[in-house]
Amino acid sequence: MRISHGGIQTRMDSEQKCSTLYSLAEAAQALFGGTSIWTIRKHIAQGTVRPVRIGRRVFLTSEECARIQREGLPSLRHEEK
């Protein structure tokens, strides 16, 4: 694992490219324009965001951040029936 500017770079597998990991704080501030860390945590709990866990720490890969920026995230508000 190598530390780089703006995240942690790690090799996933020999078949996959090197991926940058962003902490939730980095992802919330820099990538999503000040979105709350707790909003990202709620999406992780709902399964709409796929995190990488290293011990107790939670990260988002650069690919996951790009997917979120491309597709967006669904609303967390509950729809009344």
Check residue 1 and give its pLDDT.
Answer: 46
Question: Smallest Cα–Cα separation from 22: which of 32, 8, 10?
Answer: 8
pTM for the structure as a whole? 0.72
C-alpha to C-alpha distance for 20 and 1, rounded to whole angstroms: 10
**35-68 confidence digits (pLDDT tens):** 899 999 999 999 999 999 999 999 999 999 999 9
- Please write down the long-range contacts of 60-65, taking CB distance under 8 Å and 24 or more positions apart: 60/21, 60/22, 60/24, 60/27, 61/19, 61/20, 61/21, 61/22, 62/7, 62/19, 62/20, 62/21, 62/22, 63/19, 65/22, 65/27, 65/31
